[in-house]
Structure 1
Amino acid sequence: MAKRIASAVVVLIAGLIVFIATRPDSFHISRSRPIQAPPEVVHALINNFSKWPQWSPYEKVDPNLQRTYDGPAEGVGAGYAWKGNKNIGAGRMTIVASNPGERVTIRLEFIEPFAAVNQAEFILAPGTTTTHVTWSMSGPNTFLGKAMMGFGLMESFVGKQLEQGLTDLDTAAREEALKATQSAQAETPHLSPAP
């Protein structure tokens, strides 16, 4: 009886390994939503890493997160490194492409708790009153990534983070758009009616 159970466990494990190994060698996860602000306002919040604490879900994982910035303040070459607790780990982001009001592409390097190099991309499509934003993450799949993907865990976990980030980006962009409107109104000279 014990031999049959052991044989069944071996077959089950072998089948699981084969199933995981046949998963795709790369992954792509994306989420989209309309943002209630003009493309230039949304782009400015993504294109400058010092503005990410206003909306990025990853910034809230560790209240003691250590951040360092290098390169230009925004756009291509801007860099951001982080080091935090076991839930956020350590890594680095670098903007590799930026088209105002249209797109930001980021090289995303994870150092801890595991090493990986992925790509994050934001695509902005202006509408009449909103900006439709798609945030995606893609890269090569490790064995662990294939296992998570095979059971839908990666799509669910990363997808929820992207959704939360887009929701918070919408809130931050609305606030920035309102400030810009109020500032423009304050600078507009008010003409007194003619006598």
Structure 2
Amino acid sequence: MLKKILIALIVAVAGLMAYAATRPDTYEVSRSIELAAPPARVHALVNDFHHFPQWSPWQKLDPAMQTSFDGPDAGVGAKYAWQGNKDVGKGSMAIIESIPGRKVGMDLEFIEPFASKARTDIDIEPTASGSKVTWSMRGDNNFISKLMSVFVSMDAMIGKDFEESLANLKRISESAN
């Protein structure tokens, strides 16, 4: 009986691993929001990491989080690094693309709790009432990420944080009106 249970368990684990291997090699998460703020104001907030703690949902997960800034205050070359509790981990972001009033592109690197790299973009489109902001993140799925995606998608893990961040960005950018 024990032998049959062990064989069934091995088959189940092998099946799970085989299924995980078929998961997509990449992921993408994207959220958008309409703001009653001009593109230049929104760009100024997302192009300068010194403003990031104001609209980031991760800052409140660890108020004692250690952060540092490097490079120019804003734009290409600006860098932001953090180290905090298990909820926020350790990592860094660097602005690699900045188009005034239109876009900020960043390289994102997570170091802890597990290593991964991603590209994030904040695209800003002018609208009749202000701006439409789209925050997207895309990266590669290694085998561990593929295995995790069997149980919870990257969209489910990150999407709600993007929504909260964009709501904070809306509040901050519109309060300057």
Q: TM-score, normalised by structure 1?
A: 0.87
The answer as to 2:131 corresponding to 1:131 is: yes
Which residues of 2 match residues 116-127 of structure 1 at below 5 A? 116-127=116-127
Displacement, 1:47? 0.3
Q: Counterparts of 1:48 and 1:82 in 2: how far apart (Å)?
A: 15
Q: Give the unaligned 5+ runs of structure 1.
A: 179-195
Query: What's 1:189 paired with?
Result: none
State which drifts further: 52-61 or 165-174: 52-61
* Deviations 1:92-133, CA, capped at 9 Å, x for gaps: 111000001111000111112222221111111111003111
C-alpha contact (below 8 Å) 1:25/1:142 kept by paired residues = yes
Displacement, 1:153? 3.4
Displacement, 1:152? 3.4
Q: Counterparts of 2:151 and 2:31 in 1: how far apart (Å)?
A: 19
Divergent runs of 4+, >3 A: none
Which residues of 2 match residues 42-191 of structure 1 at below 5 A? 42-176=42-176, 178=177
* Deviations 1:64-102, CA, capped at 9 Å, x for gaps: 011111111100001111111121111111100000111
AA of the residue aligned to 1:20: A
Pairwise CA RMSD? 1.2
C-alpha contact (below 8 Å) 2:27/2:154 kept by paired residues = no
AA of the residue aligned to 1:107: D
Q: Counterparts of 1:134 and 1:101 in 2: how far apart (Å)?
A: 13
AA of the residue aligned to 1:74: A
AA of the residue aligned to 2:73: A
Q: Counterparts of 1:150 and 1:5 in 2: how far apart (Å)?
A: 23
Query: What's 2:5 paired with?
Result: 5
Q: Counterparts of 1:86 and 1:169 in 2: how far apart (Å)?
A: 25
C-alpha contact (below 8 Å) 1:77/1:95 kept by paired residues = yes
Q: Counterparts of 1:149 and 1:104 in 2: how far apart (Å)?
A: 28
Aligned residues: 177
SS of the residue corresponding to residue 50 of structure 1 reads helix
C-alpha contact (below 8 Å) 1:91/1:109 kept by paired residues = yes
AA of the residue aligned to 1:9: L
Q: TM-score, normalised by structure 2?
A: 0.95
C-alpha contact (below 8 Å) 2:110/2:117 kept by paired residues = yes
Displacement, 1:28? 0.9
Query: What's 1:40 paired with?
Result: 40
The answer as to 2:15 corresponding to 1:15 is: yes
AA of the residue aligned to 1:31: R
AA of the residue aligned to 1:100: P
Q: Counterparts of 2:20 and 2:135 in 1: how far apart (Å)?
A: 26
